[in-house]
Amino acid sequence: MRVCVQILRQFCFNSATKRIVEIPDLQWEKSQLNRNVACRFFFIWFPDLTELKLPVSDPNPSLCVCVLLTLQWDTDPSVLQLQSDSELGRKMQRLGATKITQVDFLPREVVLYCKETQTPITGTEEEDDEEIIDLEPALESDQQEEVDNKETREGYPGRELTEEEKQQILKSEEFLSFFDCSIRVMERALAEQSDIFFDYSGRDLEDKDGELQGGSSLSLSRLFYDEHWSKHRVITCLDWSPQYPELLVASYNNNEDAPHEPDGVALVWNMKFKKNTPEYVFHCQSPVVAVGFARFHPNLVVGGTYSGQIVLWDNRSHRRTPVQRTPLSAAAHTHPVYCVNVVGTQNANNLITVSTDGRMCSWTQPISTPWDFMELVYNKSKPVAVTGMAFPTGDVNNYVVGSEEGTVYTASRHGSKAGICEMFEGHQGPVTGLSCHNAVGPVDFSHLFVTSSFDWTVKLWSTKHNKPLYSFEDNADYIYDVMWSPVHPALFAAVDGMGRLDLWNLNSDTEVPTASVTVEGASALNRVRWASGGKEVAVGDSEGRLWIYDAGELAVPHSEDWARFARTLMEIKANRGDAEEEGLVELTP
């Protein structure tokens, strides 16, 4: 260690005068200072210091030197550093990322109890009881109540919610959305009544009804009816969901007994679970006469109304009213829209709607104004009052329409012959239902279609002939709807005003239906729709009830059914040719 010494003041002891005298400017000679300078008060060791010399002028050797020095310990730089590190300063830290640990804190378990949670129902019961009791027991009961209250107060201390707070909560948005979701789940759970503890050993097996019967007849599978929304309303249209085969939508007319309820209602029902309430409830201001699932938009339901408005409901929003509506303008429809259809492919699809004034509009999303519309007129003179429209399988351009006069027309959307092409006469009353053959198989029957009408008949047509191929006349009332089976080539269903659902299998018999069933209550059946699998058929009646029938074995096609149907058709044509004198007019497709 090196020591720097800076001499501040110098003193010396003059032994003659016995005094300490300050020496102003002493010149020290290096050689004179001893290495060890012993001082009275402190001992300084100067290992490296060169000698200091005392002035020679003073002869007295007993000189005591008092020196005031400052000492500067000039320590090794490295040593200094160390010291400063530990004692003095903070050096610059380098920053780096630390590992993140996530900690989940559970909510504090607060046990709270509420004192008064009586709903009005149970509250009134208590009041009644109190009135009956005499005075004396009344006093006792009062005392008991006090005791009870005390007990509850002691046992369950907690914050109460006032009635206003509860009402507030019940009206809040988040509560409503929670309630909407959880009530749906809860209803499904409540309805599933499977007894997992059933013991087969100790008792007789009860015969299971309904599910396994099927067989070769029509059996009732489900009935969908809602007290609030279906009562006194006629089912005007049905559609099965292309995406979820268990969902179907039914549209309802207005309820004359309840003028304050919305006029148009559409309910989405679920076949998969046993609960008997609709999955979704939609309504709008005008009676809904046509409804369908938008084929390439799985969350949307399209409705055509009596006022000519097209409405769109979305099941993603919690609203029951339409999310989109067309304006009531002359550019759109001003007459009831009985047909709504989504045609096209995933990438290029249009919503086609036709109203009873003969106007056909094409819409794209979002529906505000139609991008294309056409007036369906026959022979450029009279507009066709369209009651039904159907597209043959795979065709997006040509379609068939039925009218109120009883005539059926084919038409095209685009091309040189856009508009009405041919006329098919045969029915003597308005055409109520129209269905193009859509079972796909080895033989192509897509030129066939069936129509039903108020004239008590169902007629089979081919687009190649302008007279019906065959007329089915087994009914004794207006026939309201008809539909080909989507899987069986020779099977179609028809419903009439007496509550009868008929299944005609043309391969077995063309004179009488193969299976027939009348619904309970014999109310007029307005609509019939096969499920996409072809196993179930849904019928809607005029009382707002939706019946689902299981067609069982009847609806299952066999591979030879196509060939047999081709032969049946030939027979029909041959019989026809014999029966009528005038020849069939062959139409160019």
Using CB under 8 A, list all residues that contact another protein: 102, 104, 106-107, 109-119, 121-122, 148, 152, 156, 158-161, 166-167, 169-171, 174-176, 178-179, 181-183, 185-187, 189-191, 193, 195, 228, 277
Q: How far is the CB of 301 from another protein (least distance, A)?
A: 20
For residues 26 and 46, give the distance between their C-alpha atoms in angstroms, rounded to a whole number.
20
Tokens of 2: 């090196």
Q: How far is the CB of 170 from another protein (least distance, A)?
A: 5
Q: Which is nearer to another protein, 174 or 553 (CB)?
A: 174
Q: Which is nearer to another protein, 224 or 445 (CB)?
A: 224
Q: Is residue 46 a contact partner of residue 35, using CB atoms and an 8 Å limit?
A: yes
Q: How far is the CB of 118 from another protein (least distance, A)?
A: 6
Q: Which is nearer to another protein, 40 or 159 (CB)?
A: 159
* Nearest C-alpha neighbor of 503 from the set 466, 547, 472: 472
User: If 0-12 CB within 10 Å is exposed, 13-18 middle and 19+ buried, where does residue 558 land?
Assistant: exposed
Q: Is residue 325 a contact partner of residue 283, using CB atoms and an 8 Å limit?
A: no
Q: How far is the CB of 129 from another protein (least distance, A)?
A: 12
Q: Which is nearer to another protein, 22 or 146 (CB)?
A: 146
Tokens of 55: 């002035």
Q: Which is nearer to another protein, 123 or 215 (CB)?
A: 123
Q: How far is the CB of 218 from another protein (least distance, A)?
A: 28
Ranges of beta strands (E only) in 431-484 are: 431-436, 448-453, 458-462, 470-472, 479-484
Q: How far is the CB of 305 from another protein (least distance, A)?
A: 24
Q: Which is nearer to another protein, 184 or 297 (CB)?
A: 184
Q: How far is the CB of 221 from another protein (least distance, A)?
A: 20
Q: Which is nearer to another protein, 170 or 585 (CB)?
A: 170
Strand 264-270: give its sheet, edge to edge. 235-240, 247-252, 264-270, 280-284
User: If 0-12 CB within 10 Å is exposed, 13-18 middle and 19+ buried, where does residue 391 land?
Assistant: middle
Angle between the N-to-C axes of helices 173-191 and 163-171, in degrees from 0 to 180, rounded to the nearest 10: 80
Tokens of 391: 């597209």
Q: How far is the CB of 110 from another protein (least distance, A)?
A: 6
Half-sphere exposure of 361 (CA within 13 A, CB side): 27
SS3 content of the chain, % helix, strand, coil (to 5): 15, 35, 50
DSSP structure class, residue 43 = E
Tokens of 451: 């129509």
Q: Which is nearer to another protein, 177 or 369 (CB)?
A: 177
